Chain A
Amino acid sequence: MKKTMFKIEEVAKLIEKDKVLLLAGDENLLKKLPKGNWIGGTIPYFMSEKGGMVTKDMILVNEMPDFIKSIKCQAYDATNVHAIYNDGFENGFTVIIVPGMSDLHLSFANNATDFDGFATKPLVGWISGGLLADLNQRAPGTAFGPEATFSNDRAVAMHIELPKGKYAQTSIINIFSQGNGDQIEFPKSGFTATEVLINGQKRNFADYIAEKKLDIRLPLVADYSGSMINISFQHVDQAKKVVSFYAPVFEGVVYKQAGKIENYIHKFSKQVPSNGKQNLTFSCNCILNFLYSELEGKKTGSITGPFTFGEIAYQLLNQTMVNLEIADLS
């Protein structure tokens, strides 16, 4: 199986050879890398070739294939992130890394669906993070290879152009599906909720969760014409009667809480495509899947990538694996 975890010296050599790289690793390592064709984000949790891993000493390297036609690396802040879709190549895809817990994280999550050209070009990526025990001391960040700079409030993106005859296709693996419980609707979009409609009846959501003894490790799931899209619970503040989430809930969408999962690896393995689609160009998976399903040391098939603080497939997702495959047009 292809090596994905590298020492910093090895990564520097790849950069010096002009390789096009997507990187994930600790801030101290990313800051030491030379200028080049790469972007990176902070995270110490990985789906490595050896299984789920936590390390601040190695960098996960995702080298783009040699056949790509061209690349354009770009940094984004609140003033230009709305152009992320239109900036992409007509035939290609874009990978974006957004610093976790930043204003841009919130802004992207809330507004991406209204950006010009939304979903018209493949966009994948992730929200950077850090060791959970360190988060109060160190904010998640991103690194921009062309300038060898690091930031806690700027997103970095790589737009990749593909040659004629090849195309990029985004897919998700979500082991959760809607359970048999109540229908939940939110009168207002956002990362927090107080009042909700439960089967059409107005209720305080925190009270409802307590009354029903909901296991908040199971996300809310919306059915997007057959694609199951999750919103993960972050916290229920019973004193303030406020429920917070890791991605915004949207007004007008009907959610149900996910049904219980007995064995993540078993269910996940059943959903991993077996028709040759395992040769993926990009993958990321959710830190909550790593934590709740105790994936340290366990292999997620042949798929490698970072465990992240949010996954992006056109918009922000939770508790989901995002994949991008490059294939030949027949």
Chain B
Amino acid sequence: MEQSDFNHPVWNDLINGTLQVKLNYLAANILLSRLRIRHKLNPSDDEIEASKKEIFSLYLKSKDLPDAKADIQLLLNK
């Protein structure tokens, strides 16, 4: 996983809920739920961009942890 993966549409789909997947990484489960609530209450472009950055950054910094790795494989197929 690299910085350029931020441009992948999967992050947008995760935040707005069009992508419903079972994630392994507990930190991401909990953070994503929070971000989806925030999106529901304020679906502005700025808000979704900020939320995408949060979930992406969590995965980027955790990319070597087994549960995060499994999610990255699932989400980005890499």
* Chain B proximity of A224: nearest CB distance (Å): 4
* Chain B proximity of A17: nearest CB distance (Å): 33
Q: Which residue from chain A places its CB closest to the CB of B61 in the assembled complex?
A: A120
Chain B residues contacting A170 (CB-CB under 8 Å) are 26-27
Report the interface size for chain A: residues with CB under 8 A from the other chain.
25
Chain A residues contacting B34 (CB-CB under 8 Å) are 113, 118-119
What is the 8 Å Cβ interface bit string for chain A, positions 242-282, against chain B (1 contact, 0 not)? 00000000111100000000000000000000000000000
A119:B41 contact, CB within 8 angstroms: no
B29:A224 contact, CB within 8 angstroms: yes
A167-B65, A169-B65 given; A120·B40 CB < 8 A: no
Q: Roughly how many angstroms separate A118 CA and B32 CA in the complex, as a whole number?
A: 11
Known: A118-B31, A225-B29, A314-B27. 20 other contacts (CB 8 A): A119-B31, A120-B27, A120-B57, A120-B61, A122-B27, A170-B26, A225-B21, A225-B28, A226-B24, A226-B29, A227-B26, A227-B29, A227-B30, A229-B30, A229-B33, A253-B37, A313-B26, A314-B30, A329-B64, A329-B65
B41:A252 contact, CB within 8 angstroms: yes
- Check A222 for interface membership: any CB of B closer than 8 A: yes
Q: Roughly how many angstroms separate A12 CA and B34 CA in the complex, as a whole number?
A: 42
What is the 8 Å Cβ interface bit string for chain B, positions 19-53, against chain A (1 contact, 0 not)? 01111101111111110110011000000000000
* Chain A proximity of B45: nearest CB distance (Å): 19
- Check A33 for interface membership: any CB of B closer than 8 A: no
Chain B residues contacting A24 (CB-CB under 8 Å) are none
- Check A315 for interface membership: any CB of B closer than 8 A: yes
CB neighbors of B among A201-231 (8 A):
222, 224-227, 229
Chain A residues contacting B23 (CB-CB under 8 Å) are 225-227
B30:A224 contact, CB within 8 angstroms: yes
Q: Roughly how many angstroms separate A314 CA and B25 CA in the complex, as a whole number?
A: 12
Q: Which residue from chain B places its CB closest to the CB of A119 in the assembled complex?
A: B31
CB neighbors of B among A107-135 (8 A):
113, 118-120, 122
Q: Roughly how many angstroms separate A118 CA and B28 CA in the complex, as a whole number?
A: 10
What is the 8 Å Cβ interface bit string for chain A, positions 283-313, against chain B (1 contact, 0 not)? 0000000000000000000000000000001
Chain B residues contacting A172 (CB-CB under 8 Å) are 26
Q: Roughly how many angstroms separate A122 CA and B58 CA in the complex, as a whole number?
A: 11
A252:B30 contact, CB within 8 angstroms: no
